[in-house]
Structure 1
Amino acid sequence: MLGIHDLPFFILSGLLLNILPGPDSLLIMTRSATQGWRAGSAAAFGIGAGTFVHILAAALGLSAVLATSAAAFTVVKLVGAAYILWMALSLLRSKRVTESAAAPAVAPLPYRKIFGQGFLTNVLNPKVALFFLAFVPQFIDADAPNKALAFIVLGCIFNVNGMLWCNALSLFTARASERVKLSPVVSLWLKRVTGSLFVWLGVKLALSRQS
């Protein structure tokens, strides 16, 4: 159908790739642990929206520019790295709330802002665009009648599977944090550790090269 082949293998590979840890997973886990599963799901849906942008761009050939233009790749890479580092700074600057024992350890963010964080974290990562260009075409026949449509279908399958995993991760992390009952001190250090990991990811992205 549509020139797509080895669909079960594509689904399995996509699930395994989605499970690999990265900035998206870190964001979901941090928001879920500190603000509940709804916050983690908001981040997950933002990431999914960003993934759709990459899917459509790759299907229309726009992502090919990132694969062939060093200047375009560098610009998007540096913007994405700067955003991740900005998020890292905000996490590292978090302070413990001590005014009231009943006060939350982390000031809650509106879900729309968490959605925006997930969206920008994903859409400003040029490696995601290059991944789709390298991975998805392997499952499309060379003589497929409509390669762009086949690409979009496979991309949507990948994204739906990713959303299932991300929301499961959000729910699991939130439930785990409820059982552990994170104290303000633990919550604060969770944000700082995550911020440090985001620094590493941001620097890694800034120093990455086209492949």
Structure 2
Amino acid sequence: MAMSLLGTYLLAVVLLLITPGPVIALVTHTAVRDGYRRAFITLAGTNLASLVLLAMAVMILAGIVDIHPLSLAGVGFIGALFIGWMGIGMLTHPQPTTATSARQGGFLTGFLTAIANPKDILFFVAFFPQFVPVTRNFAQSITLLTLIWIALDLLILTMWIIAVRRYVSLRYERAIRLATALFMLVVAIYGAVWNGNAIWIAFSEG
């Protein structure tokens, strides 16, 4: 086993997961507004989305699926639009109602937010394959890397949820909602511009 490569993978995953992004913003906002139960349901959705992206990366590596680079940019662009829609929804519904609660948290929303997250898409498709040689066996490497991802993902997001619920008062929910919405809009704009530019270049060269 290549311990140095494994250590690099651990560090990369931890840095990716602790860095603020749409998933952390959604999970922490849900924790403050709706409590532990809904936050952990949302977490389950985000974790499943990560496994789907990971499975896609494995199928690409195994030669089962061949994805055109333009497809990746297209998925990233659509994902940016979805995250932007989430942010706008938070800004246009200042009062937490049943309808907005269902839209801003929950298993499906968590799944869609994570599956559309440009940061996660880039990690699994472009960065994850570099760590497959961690062992000499492809299946063992994928299993090990997947288990590490699941464990760290659940641990770090759980720590975010507990920290927010314990140390952030509900009276700050409006400020957190505003910060979450603005952050999602920034991510959405960046993702739309980046992927839109990639799509434009691909069509121009084609």
State the TM bucket, normalised to the shorter chain: 0.7 to 0.9
Whichever structure has more helix as a proportion of its residues is 2
> What CA RMSD, in Å, does the superposition of the two structures yield over aligned residues?
2.8
Change in 2 beyond 3 A, CA 1:191/1:112: closer
Matching of residue 162 in structure 1 with residue 161 in structure 2: no
CA-CA distance at 1:36 after TM superposition:
1.2
Aligned residues of 1:136 and 1:155 also touching (Cα < 8 A): no
Task: Kindly tell me the number of residue pairs found equivalent between the two proteins.
Answer: 191
Distance in 1 between residues matched to 2:72 and 2:103, nearest whole Å: 30
Q: 2:127 maps to what in 1?
A: 135
TM-score normalised over the length of structure 1: 0.77
Change in 2 beyond 3 A, CA 1:84/1:142: closer
Distance in 2 between residues matched to 1:17 and 1:140, nearest whole Å: 18
Q: 1:69 maps to what in 2?
A: 69
Distance in 1 between residues matched to 2:40 and 2:65, nearest whole Å: 27
TM-score normalised over the length of structure 2: 0.79
Alignment of 1:142-181 (within 5 A): 144-145=136-137, 147-177=138-168, 180=169
Distance in 1 between residues matched to 2:121 and 2:74, nearest whole Å: 14
CA-CA distance at 1:94 after TM superposition:
1.9
CA-CA distance at 1:79 after TM superposition:
1.6
Aligned residues of 1:42 and 1:111 also touching (Cα < 8 A): no
Distance in 2 between residues matched to 1:124 and 1:76, nearest whole Å: 7
Matching of residue 193 in structure 1 with residue 185 in structure 2: no
- Tell me the alpha carbon deviations over residues 117-158 of structure 1, each in whole angstroms, 9 at most, x when there is no partner: 11111112354233123333333339833x255224303311
Aligned residues of 2:32 and 2:165 also touching (Cα < 8 A): yes
* SS across alignment from 2:30: helix
- Partner amino acid, structure 1, of 2:184: F
Q: 2:19 maps to what in 1?
A: 20
Structure 2 unaligned runs (5+)? Answer: 199-206
Change in 2 beyond 3 A, CA 1:194/1:111: closer
